Amino acid sequence: KGDRKTYLVTGGAGFIGANFVLKARQQNWVERIINLDKLTYAGNLQTLASLVDDPGYVFVRGDIGNQELVSYLLQQYQPDAIVNFAAESHVDRSIVNPGQFIHTNVVGTFDLLEATRKYWQGLANPEQFRFLHVSTDEVYGSLDRTDPAFSETTAYAPNSPYAASKAAADHLVRAYHHTYGLPTLTTNCSNNYGPFQFPEKLIPLMILNALEGKPLPVYGDGQNIRDWLYVEDHCDAIYTVLNNAAIGTTYNIGGESEEANIDVVTLICNLLDEIKPQPGLERKSLITFVTDRPGHDRRYAIDCRKLKQDLGWQPQESFKSGLRKTIEWYLANGFWIEQVRSGAYQDWLQQNYGQR
Ligand code: NAD
């Protein structure tokens, strides 16, 4: 158990943030969690329904870019750590509509840092405080097959608007530590998968399409390589860094599971054929190659030895065991999927919060 009592988590209704909030409450990591989330299309309170009666959990709908609101929440709840998950996170959307990514990921992170700096400067016990910024390995750009994996000292070379916006945010966090002494931490993680992931991302999209007998669209030649980490392992890593890392440091987090996209999709098909066979259908036959994403990075690979060696973190799931768990979760949670896909959730938001 860490020695902090209250976290302010941003973006805690999204995929990774919600897994973190649920785990933090289940494991009693802290006494109280405040979840500030704007509830964009990617935020879903259904995921957190089990916490409605939990006195240690507070949900606030709002924008990290609203300094006044953030300052109010900081004064009101006096957190001793902030974990910043809030972001626009989907690369394809960043290609179509980059403005929103700059707005939230860059300007929003700046506003959050500003409100945090003012609060932190007034704390009686400022050395206890931490600001942990959750980022991605995409800031490092793309690798060739034989290049060594990204380490914490690899130069930033972001290629998509999403990656560039996260890189800018990482630089701001670094500058706030260097300039003002704000006790920051940054984690750069590889691709996550697991329960509650919005079905626009590769793994849930493929699981759900395969279950419905729909085509499985794979970009280009399918040979783009990503490192994959089960989301709970990511949450554990964040908790470990938050409570044990030296301030101002950066840690890479990865699953040491490099997989070509085509192999990920094929494995999903094979696991589904085994767990939920559909007579007469071999799901691999649904794979369809589609025009590649513009500027599609070829390979990401992450060297997370620093985290393992310094802080003793280890992923608990292999890619295969984590993928099996994920498929079983999607099979058992049809209600959640239906809500997310049908727009019923958006209608509920409209009724309860007066806006979508
Ligand atoms: P997500 O898109 O599922 O969730 C993002 C959440 O942030 C949503 O709940 C959304 O409503 C909220 N949000 C968006 N804009 C906001 C704003 N202006 N103010 C407050 N809340 C806002 O994303 P995710 O996959 O859970 O990723 C979380 C974080 O982890 C992101 O910062 C992302 O860059 C990073 N990350 C993700 C992955 C991955 O594989 N998903 C890997 C490495 C790092």
CATH of the domain at 17: 3.40.50.720
Whether 225 is in a domain gets the answer no
Q: Which of 63, 88, 111, 137 is the catalytic position?
A: 137
- 137 included as an active-site residue: yes
Distance from the alpha carbon of residue 275 to the mean position of ligand 1, in angstroms: 30
Q: Rounded to whole angstroms, how far apart are CA atoms 219 and 261?
A: 8
Helix, strand or coil for residue 78? Answer: coil
Which CA distances in Å does 241 have to 22, 238, 251, 254? 18, 5, 8, 14
- Looking at the domain assignment, is residue 44 inside a domain? yes
Indicate whether 213 belongs to any domain: no
Whether residue 153 lies inside any domain: the answer is: yes
For residue 92, being part of any structural domain is answered with yes
Known active-site residue 236: no
Handedness of CA 130, 131, 135, 140 (dihedral sign): negative
Residue 332 has a pLDDT of 97
Specify if 222 maps to a domain: no
Residue 285: CB atoms within 10 A of its CB come to 11
- What is the CA(13)–ligand 1 centre distance, in A? 9
Q: What is the pLDDT of residue 355?
A: 61
In terms of residue numbers, what domain contains 157? 6-193+231-256+302-318
Q: Is position 138 annotated as part of the catalytic site?
A: yes
pLDDT for 352? 76
- Tell whether 339 is covered by a domain: no
Divide the 356 residues of the chain into consecutive groups of 10 and give the mean pLDDT of each group: 85 98 97 97 94 97 98 98 97 94 98 98 96 98 95 97 98 98 98 95 96 96 96 98 98 97 98 97 97 92 98 97 98 92 79 68
Domain membership of residue 207 (yes or no) is no
3-state secondary structure of 30: coil
pLDDT of 343: 79
Distance 27 CA to ligand 1 centre (A): 22
Report the pocket of ligand 1 as residue ranges, CB < 6 Å: 10-11, 13-17, 36-40, 42-43, 63-65, 85-89, 104, 108, 134-136, 166, 189, 191-192, 198
Looking at the structure of the chain, the number of domains it has is: 1
Work out which ligand 1 atom sits closest to the CA atom of 137.
43
Locate the ligand 1 atom nearest the alpha carbon of residue 19 and give its number. 26
Biggest distance spanned by C-alpha atoms of the chain? 68
d(Cα 196, Cα 326) in Å, to the nearest integer? 9
DSSP assignment of 146-202, as one string?
Answer: TSPPB-TTSPP---SHHHHHHHHHHHHHHHHHHHH---EEEEEE-EEESTT--TTSH
Active-site option among 37, 111, 138, 227: 138
Give the per-residue pLDDT at 356.
52
CB 9 within 8 A of CB 35: yes
What is the rounded CA–CA span in Å between residue 195 and residue 18? Answer: 10
Is there a contact between 33 and 60 (Cβ–Cβ < 8 Å)?
no
Tell me if ipTM is over 0.95. Answer: yes
